[in-house]
Amino acid sequence: IYIYIGALLFGGPHLLSILFPALRDNFEKSLGEKPWKGLYAIVSLAGLVFLAIGYLQSRAGPATLDILYDAPYELRHLTMLLVLLGFIFIGASHGKGYMKKWLRNPMSIGVSLWAIGHLLVNGQRADVWLFGTFLVVGLADIV
């Protein structure tokens, strides 16, 4: 249950900001900029903690048998490539280079590639919730 709460707490504020910017701006105006950012950060961090706890719990006991799909072993090479590209794009989002100029959202593209790579080879329910949350947020920001 922790992974579901984490997905909601992490994905909710991010999707609210991405999909409903006017609503986000109204919340920010009513609370003030610093309290809004503080609340946003605390809720997002709590979501990450719940995601991590839920993911760790899925690695022991009966939850290890909760498999949604069995990924082909051959996709591991594609996963390594996507994760490598994802890390390159995430790194490019922190500097002043050509990739940041050419790509609108290198951080979101990198997170999405990272998540897709992991979803290709991890078919356990907890994996789908964890990496799926990041993929949905990343794709929503790209669009």
Asked whether the predicted pLDDT for residue 100 surpasses 80, the reply is no
Question: What are the tens digits of pLDDT across the range 69-98?
Answer: 888 888 899 999 999 999 999 988 887 777
Q: What is the pLDDT of residues 26-63, one digit of tens each?
A: 988 998 989 989 999 999 999 999 999 998 888 887 77
Q: SS3 for 65-132, per residue? A: HCECCCCCHHHHHHHHHHHHHHHHHHHHCCCCCHHHHHCCCHHHHHHHHHHHHHHHHCCEHHHHHHHH
pLDDT of residue 118: 93
Distance CA 6, CA 19 (A): 19
pLDDT, tens digit (0-9, with 9 covering 90-100), for 61-73: 777 788 888 888 8
pTM of the entire predicted model: 0.83
